């Protein structure tokens, strides 16, 4: 999912008027650098990140749920976010950082919306694909009570396509035979998993999700995603899936939301504020 996140941020910043370029494991000391994925296994150690990236020209984009129970969120990573300017996709994470670092926290909510080009990466034409599954679910089934929830949904007659290991453009053809995408929270913080939903949102595939905690700058609450309370979730989900017109409208609203012309301006103002904070 990280590739889609980087591409989405890069696309939005370019549409906001910034000259940007993507690179892998490269830091340009003469430019402002935005770093992604620092907490993920297999990346450079955070000690190395501190040695090669200056807080005066480096911004960290956090993609994790800081208030969750992820083993990737260490004290070392939180300390890094406190010492650098950071961008975040959800106000819940910013609240966490401000609670830890107080007025010293230099964090800004960034509107994370999908790269519009995702909608053009269909390796299989729409009209040649039959819908074989009600919902696609991808991600770890070992988080929280996801596996029990999925079993309950299946018991209510919902045909699920559960898979893992499909990322970026490889995710597109896997979703093509599904009527919608299912989002179930992995952590008690119940933050909306924006990153997981970027590609289906760009494709106009309806997303059905548990009720979520939303952001302020780019709230998905009225985006077209169908949010369902956790109580009687499986039963309500099955009822929604029988309403074809509602699903069609949800997909259209999603595409209107992610392509709203105000987002580049919001992104520009956010990044300018973050750049100003580099010298604070």
Q: What pLDDT, on a 0 to 100 scale, did the predictor assign at position 124?
A: 63
Q: Could you please state the CATH topology (level 3) that the domain comprising 116-258 is classified under.
A: Rossmann fold (3.40.50)
* Local confidence band at 141 (pLDDT 50, 70, 90 cut-offs): confident
53 or 66, which is more confident: 53
Q: What pLDDT, on a 0 to 100 scale, did the predictor assign at position 127?
A: 64
* Local confidence band at 66 (pLDDT 50, 70, 90 cut-offs): confident
Domain ranges of the chain: 2-114+261-277, 116-258
User: Is the pLDDT reported for residue 75 higher than 80?
Assistant: yes
Residues 6+ apart with CB under 8 A from 200: 136, 175, 181, 207
User: Is the pLDDT reported for residue 128 higher than 70?
Assistant: no
Q: What pLDDT, on a 0 to 100 scale, did the predictor assign at position 242?
A: 94
Q: What pLDDT, on a 0 to 100 scale, did the predictor assign at position 216?
A: 83
Q: How far is CA 242 from CA 138, 157, 247, 262, in A?
A: 22, 11, 9, 34
Q: How far apart are CA 180 and CA 200, in angstroms?
A: 8
Q: How far apart are CA 230 and CA 42, in angstroms?
A: 35
Q: What pLDDT, on a 0 to 100 scale, did the predictor assign at position 39?
A: 73
User: Is the pLDDT reported for residue 110 higher than 80?
Assistant: yes
Average pLDDT rounded to a whole number, residues 185-207: 89
Q: How far apart are CA 247 and CA 11, in angstroms?
A: 28
Q: How far apart are CA 91 and CA 98, in angstroms?
A: 10
∠17-19-23 over CA atoms, to 5°? 140
User: Is the pLDDT reported for residue 149 higher than 80?
Assistant: yes
């Amino acid at each position: 999912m990280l590739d889609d996140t980087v591409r989405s941020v890069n696309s939005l910043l370019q549409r906001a008027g910034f000259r940007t370029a993507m690179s892998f494991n490269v830091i340009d000391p003469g430019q402002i650098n935005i770093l992604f994925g620092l907490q993920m296994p297999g990346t450079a150690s955070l000690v190395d990140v501190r040695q090669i990236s200056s807080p005066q020209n480096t911004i960290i984009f956090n993609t994790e749920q800081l208030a969750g129970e992820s083993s990737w969120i260490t004290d070392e990573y939180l300390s890094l976010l406190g010492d650098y300017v950071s961008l975040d996709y959800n106000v819940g994470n910013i609240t966490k950082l401000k609670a830890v670092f107080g007025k010293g926290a230099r964090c800004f909510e960034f509107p994370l919306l999908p790269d519009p080009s995702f909608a053009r990466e269909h390796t299989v034409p729409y009209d040649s694909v039959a819908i074989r599954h009600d919902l696609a679910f991808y991600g770890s089934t070992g988080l929280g009570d996801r596996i029990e929830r999925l079993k309950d949904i299946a018991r209510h007659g919902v045909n699920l396509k559960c898979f893992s290991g499909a990322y970026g453009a490889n995710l597109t053809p896997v979703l093509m035979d599904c009527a919608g995408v299912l989002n179930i929270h992995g952590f008690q913080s119940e933050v909306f998993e924006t990153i997981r939903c970027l590609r289906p949102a760009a494709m106009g595939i309806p997303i059905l999700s548990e009720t979520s905690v939303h952001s302020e700058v780019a709230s998905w609450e009225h985006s077209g995603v169908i949010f369902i309370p956790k109580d009687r979730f499986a039963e309500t989900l099955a009822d929604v899936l029988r309403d074809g017109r509602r699903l069609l409208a949800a997909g259209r609203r999603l595409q209107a939301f992610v392509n709203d012309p105000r987002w580049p301006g919001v992104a520009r103002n956010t990044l300018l504020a973050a750049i100003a904070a580099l010298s604070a």
